[in-house]
């Protein structure tokens, strides 16, 4: 097993304190993500015989391991809302990646949609209280919200959607919403300001929605994505609760820190709340227009001190160790290369004839040949592997 050194991604929406405190860094610039894995954009390094080596290089040069990790593990920390986004299916990613290659769009181009040919199912597990918008609401809820705000008059497709709600009529309305001309957006935002200043005139069931719209509007004053709380489910996770998102589920994380694990991909199709590239047509061809049922995942107890978050994904499997002094867990069910990250405390990791202690903010890479491992100590650890 090997100590890891991981790359930090600095985005404007990142936290000015969480990752900094985690890694004992004396900086106040926004830090959004800490990547752990072998993705070519930001491969981790591992310490081998006193020398740092790219994990991606180690995997490709070692015949007894897979050429790459099928998953990417991140610490995500947000002070501000992330973009409204969705991720493609495997087939969509393969087609899109090939098409953009044929068009000669460089991989690092800011207008490129597909950075690789992989899908990106993902799981976010809250480290702190964590808020998000995920999946479309029930159609009647969406209709009621736009009607209550008197926004129905801005959209020619809304009457049809209201009278015959379906995935087809909602898609037509949503396309009009996301491509609304600037003049209408300006007028709509004026009306929204008026509504937000008199929330007592709206149904009390919309209180959380108007609060969320107000918060988003502080950062994105004229972005049509400000209306996302009207059509996306608002979700609040407590620490250790999780959400699983498959391809085509529109979402935006709002605030908080979490452990995020996903298939090894960086494919993101954006629709708003971002200065980055937006491609509405490609996004609409990717997302599901069916209402989404929110399912908050609670940690499943595998054994004392060891929990897991089962999902349909084959590329990744996330476990959580919460131990006290004297606690010990043996990970005898893990069969593939894994990453162990320490979110708090410190723990001794044993494998073969080797022992390594990791502390808050540190991580280790454990090749499958070093398994099984045992964990002992008062700590909170996250273990990422594949099925």
Task: State the DSSP string of 125-191.
Answer: EESS-EEEEEEEPPHHHHHHHHHHTT-GGG-TTHHHHHHS-SHHHHHHHHHHHHT--HHHHHHHHHH
- Residue 270 annotated as catalytic: yes
Annotate 311-336 with b (16+ C-beta within 10 A) or e (fewer).
bebebbbbbbbbbeeebebebeebeb
The two three-digit tokens of residue 132, written as one number: 């998000």
Positive or negative torsion for Cα 206, 208, 214, 216: negative
- Residue pair 378/324 in contact (Cβ under 8 Å)? The answer is yes
DSSP for 259-294, please give it. Answer: EEEEES----EEEESSSS---HHHHHTTS--S----
Q: How far apart are CA 259 and CA 372, in angstroms?
A: 23
Catalytic-labelled residue, pool 270, 335, 360, 376: 270
> CA-CA distance, 54 to 25, in Å (whole number)?
23
How far apart, in whole angstroms, are the C-alpha atoms of residue 256 and residue 258? Answer: 7
Active site amino acids: 270
């Amino acid at each position: 097993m090997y100590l890891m050194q991981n790359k930090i991604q600095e985005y404007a929406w990142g936290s000015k304190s969480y990752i900094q405190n985690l890694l004992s860094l004396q900086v106040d610039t926004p830090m959004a993500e800490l990547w752990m894995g072998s993705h070519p954009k930001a491969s981790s390094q591992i310490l081998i015989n006193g020398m740092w080596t790219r994990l991606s290089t180690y995997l490709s040069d070692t015949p007894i391991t897979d050429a790459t990790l099928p998953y990417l593990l991140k610490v995500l920390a947000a002070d501000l809302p992330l973009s409204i986004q969705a991720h493609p299916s495997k087939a969509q990613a393969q087609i899109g990646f090939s098409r953009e290659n044929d068009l000669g769009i460089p991989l690092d181009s800011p207008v490129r949609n597909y950075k690789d040919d992989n899908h990106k199912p993902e799981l976010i597990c809250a480290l702190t209280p964590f808020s998000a918008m995920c999946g479309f609401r029930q159609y009647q809820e969406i209709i009621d919200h736009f009607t209550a705000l008197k926004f129905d008059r801005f959209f020619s497709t809304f009457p049809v959607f209201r009278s015959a709600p379906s995935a087809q009529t909602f898609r037509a309305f949503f396309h009009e919403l996301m491509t609304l001309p600037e003049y209408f957006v300006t007028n709509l935002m004026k009306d929204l300001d008026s509504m937000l200043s008199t929330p007592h005139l709206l149904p009390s069931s919309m209180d959380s929605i108007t609060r969320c719209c107000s918060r988003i509007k502080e950062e994105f004053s004229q972005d049509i994505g400000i209306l996302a709380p009207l059509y996306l489910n608002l979700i609040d996770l407590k620490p250790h609760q999780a959400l699983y998102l498959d391809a085509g589920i529109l979402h935006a994380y709002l605030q908080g820190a979490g452990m995020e694990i996903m298939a090894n991909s960086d494919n993101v199709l954006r629709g708003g709340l971002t200065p980055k590239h937006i491609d509405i047509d490609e996004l609409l061809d990717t997302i599901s227009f069916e209402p989404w049922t929110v399912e908050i995942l609670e940690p499943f107890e595998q054994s004392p001190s060891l929990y897991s978050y089962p999902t349909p994904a084959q590329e990744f499997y996330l476990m959580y160790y919460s131990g006290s002094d004297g606690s010990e867990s043996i990970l005898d069910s893990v069969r593939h290369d894994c990453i162990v990250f320490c979110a708090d405390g410190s723990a001794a990791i044993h494998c073969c004839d080797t022992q390594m202690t990791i502390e808050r903010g540190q991580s280790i890479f454990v090749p499958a040949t070093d398994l099984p491992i045992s964990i002992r100590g008062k700590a909170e650890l996250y273990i990422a592997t594949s099925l």
